[in-house]
Each structure stands twice: as structure tokens, then as C-alpha cells.
């Protein structure tokens, strides 16, 4: 399918989605709105529409769809706190995409757990040594050898019972800031029965999703602060 057809298909899907009917000013009075929807004024669209539009190529259609981002019914509140940096049930934690999703879902405060890299730079991570479960480091042939403990496959007995779980230990202090930022974030998970690093990267629980785990952008602590403080 060429780009024009793909864009048209996406636009049609978004236009048909109920979440995109909310920002349209089709009602002339509050009573008419309430008759149709009840008193549902503080509705959040959620991150998926914004994610899809953001991935579109620059175009007039994209700019029109982006106008749905701002609506008087949407607002942030400090009562809502984004754990692990934002929308972490859907987006890889402490990534640019997670912070943006958290803000769009109304989080006025976003958590940033601070740790350090090998060259003494600060970064946001839930744990200093969680890169083997929160990033793609083990499938990066250049950076995987730098891990504190390399990947070790699972072991099974003759009956096929697991006798030793697959393991690895990769820390922010194993890498420079530039090396850290070259990684891609993924959902915090691992497969204890993995025989390969690719298998080890799985294991995401079913109450989360890998739908948006397609390469989260890792940030320095300074970049995270700038993003969280930005008005958008």
C-alpha cells in the first residue's frame, strides 16, 4: 500500500473512531450535549490517537488531525502522578514517548528515578541495573558485552523442567551516556525460559501491552526535566 493510501486508511480509521468525535463542537448548548452524552466533560482521548497521528508523514491531513490535541475539556492536574515516568502500562518506562503519554493522559507530576552512567551523567531509570529488562541492550551486539553479567540461557533437566532461569544484569553504570541513549526502551519484562537474547526480551504480562514498544527514546536526566517542564 503506498503512502497516500496508507494515510487515507489511517485518516478513515481515526475519523470513524469515537474518541475523535469528542472534540468537535457539534452541540449548540450544554443541555444538548448532556442529553447526548451525560455530564462527561473531562474526557481524555488517551495516547493512541496522538501516537498514530504523530507517526504520520508531514501533511495537511496530519496538521488537521493535530488540532484535536487541544480541547477545553482536557487539563492536567497534580493529583495525577505518572509512575515510572508516565504511561507505563502501555509505553516503555522513562522514555520520551512515556512522558508524553503521561502528560496527555493528565499527569501533572511525572516520576523520575535518577541513576548515573559510567561517565557520571544522570539518567532516569527505575533501577540502576534494569537495562536487560527495560531496553534492547542484550540484542545489541556492541553493547551487550559491556553488561555486568552477560546473558545466560535457561537450563532444563531431562524431563524438560526448568532448573535455572535465564538471566543477565545490565546497568546504566556499564555504559556512557551516548551508549545509553543509543538503546531503545521496551516494556519492563523478561522470559525466564529464554534460550536466546531475543526470547529473553519477551515476557510482557498481559495486563500491559507491547503495542507501543517499538523503540522507546531514552533520555538524559536533563532532557527528561526539559520535556516534563515543557508546556506541550
Q: Which three cell numbers stand for residue 217?
A: 527514546
pLDDT score for 28: 56
Band (pLDDT 50/70/90 cuts) for residue 35 is low
Distance CA 186, CA 140 (A): 13
Band (pLDDT 50/70/90 cuts) for residue 211 is confident
CB atoms within 10 A of CB 68: 17
pLDDT score for 62: 93
pLDDT score for 49: 78
CB atoms within 10 A of CB 85: 30
pLDDT score for 191: 96
The three-class DSSP label of residue 51 is helix
Q: pLDDT tens, 10-24? A: 444 444 433 333 334
Q: What is the mean pLDDT of residues 51-67?
A: 89
- Identify the residue whose cell numbers are 524438560: 160
pLDDT score for 110: 85
Question: Could you tell me where the DSSP H helices lie in the chain?
Answer: 3-16, 30-37, 47-54, 60-66, 96-104, 131-134, 177-181, 197-200, 221-229
Q: Between 169 and 74, where is the model more confident?
A: 169
Q: What is the mean pLDDT of residues 67-81?
A: 72
Q: pLDDT tens, 87-130? A: 778 889 999 999 888 887 778 888 888 999 999 999 999 899 99
Domain residue extents for the chain: 1-75, 114-229
pLDDT score for 163: 97
pLDDT score for 111: 85
pTM: 0.69
Q: pLDDT tens, 137-167? A: 999 999 999 999 999 999 999 999 999 999 9
Band (pLDDT 50/70/90 cuts) for residue 200 is very high
Amino acid at each position: 500500500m503506498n503512502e497516500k493510501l496508507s494515510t487515507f486508511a489511517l485518516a478513515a480509521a481515526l475519523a470513524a473512531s469515537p474518541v475523535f468525535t469528542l472534540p468537535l463542537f457539534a452541540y449548540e448548548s450544554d443541555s444538548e450535549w448532556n442529553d447526548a452524552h451525560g455530564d462527561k466533560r473531562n474526557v481524555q482521548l488517551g495516547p493512541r490517537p496522538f501516537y498514530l497521528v504523530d507517526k504520520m508523514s508531514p501533511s495537511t491531513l496530519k496538521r488537521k488531525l493535530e488540532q484535536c490535541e487541544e480541547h477545553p475539556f482536557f487539563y492536567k492536574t497534580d493529583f495525577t502522578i505518572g509512575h515510572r515516568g508516565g504511561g507505563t502500562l502501555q509505553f516503555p518506562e522513562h522514555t520520551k514517548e512515556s512522558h508524553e503519554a503521561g502528560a496527555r493522559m493528565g499527569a501533572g507530576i511525572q516520576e523520575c528515578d535518577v541513576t548515573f552512567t559510567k561517565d557520571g551523567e544522570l539518567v532516569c531509570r527505575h533501577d540502576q541495573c534494569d537495562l536487560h529488562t527495560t531496553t534492547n541492550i542484550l540484542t545489541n551486539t556492541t553493547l551487550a558485552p559491556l553488561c555486568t553479567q552477560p546473558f545466560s540461557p535457561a537450563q532444563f533437566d531431562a524431563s524438560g523442567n526448568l532448573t535455572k532461569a535465564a538471566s543477565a544484569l545490565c546497568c546504566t553504570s556499564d555504559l556512557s551516556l551516548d551508549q545509553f541513549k543509543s538503546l531503545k526502551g521496551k516494556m519492563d519484562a523478561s522470559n525466564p525460559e529464554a534460550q536466546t537474547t531475543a526470547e529473553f526480551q519477551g515476557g510482557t504480562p498481559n495486563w500491559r501491552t507491547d503495542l507501543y514498544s517499538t523503540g522507546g527514546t531514552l533520555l538524559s536526566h536533563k532532557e527528561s526535566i526539559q520535556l516534563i517542564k515543557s508546556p506541550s
